[in-house]
Amino acid sequence: MRSAEVYHAVDSHTEGMPTRVIVGGVGVLPGETMEQRRQWFLQHRDHVRTFLMTEPRGHSAMSGAILQPPTRPDADWGVLYIEVSGCLPMCGHGTIGVATVLVETGMVTVTEPVTTIRLDTPAGLVVADVQVRDGHADAVTIRNVPSFVHILDASVEVPGYGEVAYDLAFGGNFYALVSTESLGIPFERARKDELLRAGLAIMAAVEARRGAGPSARRRHPRRAPRLPRGARLDRPALAARHGDLPRLVRSIAVRNGHQRPHGTAARARRAAPAHRLRQRVLHRNDVRRAARRTDRGRGHPRSGPDHHRSRLGHRHRAVHA
């Protein structure tokens, strides 16, 4: 069989969400930072993303990550996050998948009980602590870039839904946070298609408004490195209350109706109420949804680590073009 291109990949999943980690075949992308590499990739190699993420090799909820040499001396690997919708500055479940693959394939020096991996991402430095037992990755905790609120109590006219109130927050990607109650759509599995349509409509309306308005301040007010100029609203996050716990849906996850809360969306969701309370937030997005807050008076909210169990899927896969 003759192949024009060959990409080597390892498929993993994080609580059911897939991450196809590309470990070979792409080559080193040009750019002095991972954000510059992301922009170059979008302009010159985006066909690689669609080739690996969409059908017949992928599906509507497929995510992936391309490994690169780091562009900064304090990182072990560089990561470029890809998925069906585009190329992201950061992905929580994708980072957990990447860390799992790096340990399982021996692409980093593995130590027990914890292997720490520092990843150079377009959003900044992300640190993954991998719990290792008998040489295998058992669980991963990530320390993301700082999250922050960009806009509170904004509103936008959405065709079919009228004036919709939202908060705009960053947790690695920008999210418009909207209450499902304001839309009149119950947070139910049977209504997932309606949630998806609403989320996509809101995302388009907020994107159009931000594009027509003044330039956004794209950095954390006090701590985060400057965010990519091309950073955009990658997901709408619809939040509903279930008992005392917020539940989140990303547009790409609603289609399947059973996906877990996502790391970057959960961090953005926690930043908004923390900002209102003027508190720092330490958020652990684990199976217990545990959250701890410490009142530090003035200051800007910053989310804590995400913790999810992760499993390796196919140990190795070569994808031929």
Residues carrying an active site annotation: 91
CA dist., res. 179 & res. 187, Å (int): 10
Q: Which are the contacts of 95, defined by CB distance < 8 A and separation ≥ 6?
A: 65, 79, 119, 121, 126, 128, 140, 142, 144, 263
Burial of 245 (0-12, 13-18, 19+ CB in 10 A): exposed
CA dist., res. 53 & res. 153, Å (int): 35
Contact 56, 49 (CB under 8 A): no
CA atoms within 13 A on the CB side of 194: 12
Three-class SS of residue 276? helix
Contact 271, 235 (CB under 8 A): no
